[in-house]
A and B are shown apart, each in its own frame.
Chain A
Amino acid sequence: MKHAVSPARRDPPWLVAILIGISVAYLALVLLLPLFTVFAEALRRGLAPLLQSFADRDAIAAIQLTLLIAAIAVPLNAIFGLAAAWAVTKFEFWGKSALITLIDLPFSISPVISGLVYVLLYGAHGWFGPALDTLGIKVIFTVTGIVLATTLVTLPFVARELIPLMQAQGNDEEAAAATLGANGWRTFFQITLPNIKWALMYGVLLCTARAMGEFGAVAVVSGHIRGKTATMPLHVEILYNEYNFVAAFAVASLLALFALVTLAVKTFLEAQFADELAAQRWR
């Protein structure tokens, strides 16, 4: 242990300074400056026009729609993610690795494709579109379609958060519970769920942030109807295209604000979650 002098310490100071400078400049240019611009543009004409743009009927509708979609898509994916992580980490079964790969798929495909597949399936000339149409069910260009697309895009978030943790925890405690006579449900609610609650909340947060911010997939399945099927990101685009820059950046800044709050909560959770995880590991 005595000789563990890190190589970085031997680097000349100018190199360290340059490397740190590059990282800071990169972060500032790519991340901080755009974030700053959003708020600066929103506040360009002062606070009053900014607040006024939230009083607009269509802006309120967009905010409500975005919250509604998150309220549906996130619980769905929380349940699915929990079930998938539970199955993948606590049991051995055929096709397990295929399932893990499938869960990751929405991360790797373009959101535009995620939207387009639903048009191909449920559009007026899609596979199931005509049949559903005779039943009076509309999917594409309605809230249902937006929920579906959002759910697909945000599908991996909870599961991806839970799987590594549950793998690390193993199933010793569940086995112990079983030997003491607890049934499956009881084991789940009293052993598994408490062990993963912070990771679950973390996954739900990330999932929520993405569900509210999704643009590509939603743009394909939304009919871009003002005040009806325009979510917040789509409403930003509509306002921008109408030369209404202050209002566009006002809605954009609200979205950014959601993201920042998510970040703050996430940081808090991470601290909590690290303690718990450490405690569980060493117990």
Chain B
Amino acid sequence: MKDRDIQAHDNAMKRIAHHRKGEVSRRRMMQTSAAAVGAALAADFVPKTVHADVGGTIVHFASSGKRLANSLRAVKPLFDKVFPNVTLEVVSKPMSEALTQINTYMRSKSDAFDVITQDHAQFAALDAMGALTDMGPYIEPFPEWYEDYKQDVPQRYRHMWNVPKGPAPPGYVAALAPDGNAMMTFYRRDVFEKAGIKVPVTWDEAVEAAKEIHDPEHERYAYCAAMARNFWAGYQFYGILRSWGGDYFADEVNGDWTPTIESEEGYQSLRILTELQKYAHPGSANFGEDEVNQTFAQGHALYSPLTWGTATLNDPTYSEFHEDWHMDLTPKGNTPKSDHRALTGGFGQFMPTWGGNRETAFAWIKFLNSGDREDLDGSPLIADAIVGAGGQLSRASTLSRWADRKPFFVGLQKAYPVCVVNAPVIPEAYAIMGAVGEEVADAVNNIKSTEDALKDANKRTKRIMEDSGYYD
């Protein structure tokens, strides 16, 4: 197992060991805070250019946790070296409530933050509140840099960050996202190999595979996914729905907002979710994503055809099975409309309308998104710091650097090119996702029939859209 860890940690550990004269053990290093990873990386960092002319204080808000706030804190020491006259403060709130918190602050036109990291599903809502800034004018002076960014971040993913929606024009660049994630198939490669089965391509195969490897007597359950009410169940349903070629609305692109949840595709999606429950870990029916991941780590669940997840699962301090967990594309339905469509989300940085210090704020956002090109103000160390702190990436070049050590990144590489946005790009997205999720969870837990659940989901979606005046 020696030296199979990610490069970022290797680099950082060597430096820390050097500075503390070898007192620090490898395990110790893994526990070191994000800031220490960053500081260690920054210790020997000699930037190509130093921008002493840019100054001021910027406050950056991000949800707490490894993937977001911590990766920012890890990049900060590097940024400080390139921009010595900028004071950067990274502040955070608990992940679980951060999304609604940002909306609450933005609704009140709070000027507390200059840069905010927010989930993609909230951007249409932020747009409706008038909270977003067009980044175009700030990007313009750096055509070469932007060209590199465009080449490296997969197009489908990159275009998600143009709002109101789709590629500019008519949309504008509302955010740049160094971070990304997708719903993928998670499977234990050792188990699949032993059973002699391949990663399922269709949903029926997925059910078959689950049946095959299900072993409740030894507490090795085939399937586990987050079916907790509200958003979690909503994502499960939407992920399958999209793979069958279905959607929440008849034609989102052309503005036909007739809900189509009560449809053949909707029915198939709910059927599959119910069927998979037969091979599910007993807790699955009310798990959130954190519990699902813990079950994966414990070895009690072996497979999930569709789940969010984190790179943490490949972390040697996190699980016994960190080498066995592999990721791949989610299955598809068996109709002509079906295809592998990975629900993709991610966290992008935007500059709130009421924040200040725009030039400096953009300099920081650009730095974060710079990737490996040292001639463009970037440095391999930036991505090192992000991964070292527990973040995950959107640039293809940086992903491939760790592909052999983190199977999770391999999955992401496959997912971005076929990705679809994880929710309709309208302010109402979260409200609808929650409403559908409640109905789906009730159906899966036998509180409601499949038909009733779909009908009610349709009805509630229509009500939400009505209230926002879509049918006027």
* Chain A complexes with chain B: no
Which residues of B pack against A, CB within 8 Å? none
Which residues of A pack against B, CB within 8 Å? none
